[in-house]
Structure 1
Amino acid sequence: MRIVCVGAGPAGLYFAISAKLRDAGHEITVYDRDPPAATYGWGVVYWDDLLDVLYRNDPESAREVTARSVLWQDQEVRVHGSGGEQTAHFGGYGYSISRSALLDVLTRRASQLGVDVQYGHRVADHSTLPEADLLVAADGANSGIRGQSAAFGTRIDVGLNPYIWLGTDQAFRSFVFSFEQTSAGWIWFHAYPSIAGISTCIVECSPQTWHSLGLDVLGRDQGVRLLEDTFKRALDGHRLISRSRGAPAHWQRFAHVTNETWYHGTTVLVGDAAHTTHFTLGSGTRLAIIDAVVLAHSLQKYLAVEDALREYDRHRRVELHPVQAASRTSMAWFEHLDQYIDRDAVAFAHAMSVRHRSQSPWHHQLHIATQIAAVRTARRAFATGRRWYLARRRGDGEDAQSRRTGRLPCPPGLDQPGNRDG
């Protein structure tokens, strides 16, 4: 099959890898508008469930992703208000990897498998692309391929709060939420380690605070310096960094993308072109990669492209409904932050933790207990054991049936409709 993919982000590259692993005879070309090594943003976060998917699907690239990732443990909520500084704690752990490192791994693996990855190739119109049996639109939330047809039933709702995706040379070891009260209102960041010595730092605030601080009119450098001064305590004097391996960061508002269908004819949407989830959920990369695996599996399972796309659309769109609902709820919670932030830090942090999902009756008691240092130490010890167990379980690589049959294992959700990935 001749396949053209537009967009060399995680969705496009991992689809190409997954499709090639299932059928080496596919002729796959991936086009990306940016030059090699250019990317936007800093780090992406993920959890063990994504590692499980990566190791089942392609242990080779999974090992590289693991090697280039960093572990963060615990979460802190810091509130700097008129009453001084308060800190609350969550348990848990996760992983993060710089976006550029992730794309490096996936590009090399795709090329190794025979995928033709072409950079600096801007696709203004899909009619300019070579003839193919399948066109995969992996070109992001502002997908140009998707935008050329009304058949997808695209809806884009723009969030209220401005945000900017920065880096910092403050090497956080935990996932940190820091809320700073200014004369213009509250402004906050979400920060987590990305690579050694560098952390991702996403700054967000209400439109009123953004305008009152002058962030709408200041130049990029002036705006970043203002944010450094605003978060001087939280950053411990460290600097914020605007430019990664692409253009400088800019303020934006989140685009919540939904589509009535994810395919039309022989064109199919994956990743942010099909759906977006607010960055406060930290699920975008995971969902894009699962899209890629499920689409590749559908193409292997069904002889007719239309049947494969119909099955992909049926499973993934149903699975994404509750995830996107949670995303909208999370986004709205931060847009109405003033309703919650007048509480003490522990109560505020608990409200944050339940913002997009119901919790078990004992969740609040565990949250209160986690404020005790000895309990946090015990939770970290338990998490260490859990990571060891999961890593040992994943260490076998391909499962035994895959080695016997030569077929890769079915991704979660495709043949098990009751499962969901969110």
Structure 2
Amino acid sequence: MKVACVGGGPAGLYLSILLKLQDPSHDVTVHERNPEGSTYGWGVTYWRSLLDKLYAHDPVSARAVEEHSLCWTDGVAHVGGLTTRHRGDRGHGIGRHRLLEILADRARALGVQVVYERETTPGDLPAADLVVAADGVHSALRGHHADHFGTEVSLGRNHYVWLGTTKVFDAFTFAFVETGHGWIWCYGYGYGDRRSTCVVECGPETFTGLGLDRAPEAETLALLEKLFAGVLDGHPLLGRSPAGGSSPADGSSPWLRFRTLTNRTWHRDNLVLLGDAAHTTHYSIGAGTTLALEDAMCLAGALREHAALPDALAAYERERRAALLPVQSAARYSAQWYENLPRYIRLPPHRMFALLGQRHSPLLPYVPPQLYYGLDKAVSRLEVLRRLKRWLGPKVARTVHARALGEREFTQ
């Protein structure tokens, strides 16, 4: 099979790796419009479950990804002058530039042609049995057939900016700061021995009230450094510099509103959507890169299992749509939690942080926060009771187990 992947991000590169591993005779080319080494963003996050899948599909690239990742287990929330720390799951951060470098090197080693500075337009598609649109949320290939794909985009309420810092956070860090125009907050996580990502977000009233809608980048960074001085420890915030290949060429604002993108269908003839070209999920759940790589795994598997291309593309779409449903729901509620931050921010920090961890719940917006917190604590105590009842006898255990599961569904 001759395959052309349009877009040299994680999805396109990893798909090319998997296809060559499945059949070295596949002719696979990755077309990337930007120069090699230029990319947007700072570091990306992932969790152990993704790493396990990477090892199952290609141990060589998985090992390199793990070796170049920074790990953490704690989450820290700073609310005003108060701080709370919770132990959580093991998380990983890796520089986006490093991740792409690892995947591109592995692809080339397997015989994939990776072509940079190659602009692919809908009218100039490469001749191939399969064309993969892995060209991101603004996909030109998808946009050319927008009516067929049924593309819909909704904008989030809040404004955010993706920054870096030389402060290396030892935990996944949240900082909430109150200003005279409302709350502003950041998410920070390390991805190397000298860098962290720092995403800053605020509501529209705060955005305009602080003048962030009109301030030059240097003034914006200086203001944000002052607001988050308590967690930056004197370290600077870093903007999207030209050296990083991601500064807007027209001088436009780096602030964005998140674009949630969906499509009615993901394929048309021999053209298929992958990663952000097919779907996006709010950055607050940290799943974008994971979902892109899982798309690649699924598409490669479908092409292996189905001899006919239409059957393979249909199977890929069915499987990924089903897998995405709970993730998209979690992302939607997570975004709404931050859009309704005043509802939770006055709680004691440990309670606010606990509800931050429950922000994916569809019931949380409709239950008073203090009541929800109490119910969640009650369920935690039921866990202990359930284990005790199980030890006392199978019949009693089954009864309590069923009841506890029912209440757990309600609170989570």
**TM-score, with normalisation over the residues of structure 2?**
0.85
RMSD (Å), alpha carbons: 1.9
Would the aligned equivalents of 2:30 and 2:113 in 1 still touch at CA under 8 Å?
yes
Could you tell me which residue of structure 2 aligns to residue 110 of structure 1?
Answer: 107
Q: CA deviation at 1:247?
A: 2.2
Say if 1:199 and 1:364 are closer, same or farther in 2 by CA, change over 3 A: farther
Residue 45 in structure 1 maps to residue 65 in structure 2: no
Residue 68 in structure 1 maps to residue 68 in structure 2: yes
Residue 248 in structure 1 maps to residue 247 in structure 2: yes
Q: CA deviation at 1:282?
A: 0.7
Q: Distance in 2 between matches of 1:79 and 1:153?
A: 42
Could you tell me which residue of structure 2 aligns to residue 287 of structure 1?
Answer: 291
Alignment of 1:283-322 (within 5 A): 283-322=287-326
Would the aligned equivalents of 2:351 and 2:373 in 1 still touch at CA under 8 Å?
no
Alignment of 1:84-99 (within 5 A): 84-99=81-96
Q: Distance in 2 between matches of 1:107 and 1:160?
A: 36
Q: Distance in 2 between matches of 1:257 and 1:231?
A: 31
Which of 125, 131, 144 is 1:148 aligned to? Answer: 144
Q: CA deviation at 1:129?
A: 2.2
The structure whose residues are more often helix, as a share, is: 2
Alignment of 1:304-343 (within 5 A): 304-343=308-347
Q: Distance in 1 between matches of 2:373 and 2:130?
A: 45
Q: CA deviation at 1:174?
A: 0.3
List structure 1 segments (4+ residues) > 2 angstroms apart after TM superposition.
84-93, 357-368
Query: How many positions carry a matched residue from both structures?
Result: 364
Which of 351, 373, 377 is 1:364 aligned to? Answer: 377
Would the aligned equivalents of 2:76 and 2:83 in 1 still touch at CA under 8 Å?
no
Would the aligned equivalents of 2:75 and 2:87 in 1 still touch at CA under 8 Å?
yes
Would the aligned equivalents of 1:76 and 1:174 in 2 still touch at CA under 8 Å?
yes
**TM-score, with normalisation over the residues of structure 1?**
0.83
Q: CA deviation at 1:71?
A: 0.7
Say if 1:55 and 1:214 are closer, same or farther in 2 by CA, change over 3 A: same
Would the aligned equivalents of 1:23 and 1:300 in 2 still touch at CA under 8 Å?
no
Which of 123, 126, 137 is 2:122 aligned to? Answer: 126
Say if 1:95 and 1:366 are closer, same or farther in 2 by CA, change over 3 A: farther
Would the aligned equivalents of 1:31 and 1:117 in 2 still touch at CA under 8 Å?
yes
Q: CA deviation at 1:281?
A: 0.5
Would the aligned equivalents of 1:295 and 1:312 in 2 still touch at CA under 8 Å?
yes
Alignment of 1:195-206 (within 5 A): 195-206=192-203
The AA in structure 1 aligned to 2:236 is R
Q: Distance in 2 between matches of 1:57 and 1:361?
A: 43
CA deviations over 1:23-61 (Å, ceiling 9, x no partner): 111111111111100010011111111011100000011
Q: Distance in 2 between matches of 1:69 and 1:53?
A: 16
Unaligned runs of 5+ in 2: 249-253, 363-371, 382-412
Could you tell me which residue of structure 2 aligns to residue 159 of structure 1?
Answer: 156
Could you tell me which residue of structure 1 aligns to residue 365 of structure 2?
Answer: none
CA deviations over 1:233-285 (Å, ceiling 9, x no partner): 12112110113622237111111011111111111011111111111111111
Would the aligned equivalents of 2:64 and 2:102 in 1 still touch at CA under 8 Å?
yes
* SS across alignment from 1:252: coil
The AA in structure 2 aligned to 1:334 is Y
Q: Distance in 2 between matches of 1:142 and 1:108?
A: 26
* SS across alignment from 1:130: coil
Q: Distance in 2 between matches of 1:70 and 1:88?
A: 19
Q: Distance in 2 between matches of 1:211 and 1:162?
A: 10
The AA in structure 2 aligned to 1:207 is P
The AA in structure 1 aligned to 2:247 is P
Say if 1:362 and 1:136 are closer, same or farther in 2 by CA, change over 3 A: same
Would the aligned equivalents of 1:187 and 1:205 in 2 still touch at CA under 8 Å?
yes
* SS across alignment from 1:66: helix
Could you tell me which residue of structure 2 aligns to residue 36 of structure 1?
Answer: 36
Would the aligned equivalents of 1:32 and 1:118 in 2 still touch at CA under 8 Å?
yes
Q: CA deviation at 1:130?
A: 2.2
* SS across alignment from 2:157: strand
Which of 176, 180, 199 is 1:179 aligned to? Answer: 176
Which of 264, 271, 277 is 1:267 aligned to? Answer: 271
Could you tell me which residue of structure 2 aligns to residue 238 of structure 1?
Answer: 235
The AA in structure 2 aligned to 1:307 is D
Could you tell me which residue of structure 2 aligns to residue 6 of structure 1?
Answer: 6
* SS across alignment from 1:280: helix
Which of 351, 356, 367 is 1:352 aligned to? Answer: 356
Greater relative contact order (Cα < 8 A, sep 6+): 1
Could you tell me which residue of structure 2 aligns to residue 77 of structure 1?
Answer: 77
Identity over aligned residues, as a percent? 45
* SS across alignment from 2:356: helix
Q: CA deviation at 1:98?
A: 0.5
Residue 212 in structure 1 maps to residue 216 in structure 2: no
Say if 1:52 and 1:34 are closer, same or farther in 2 by CA, change over 3 A: same
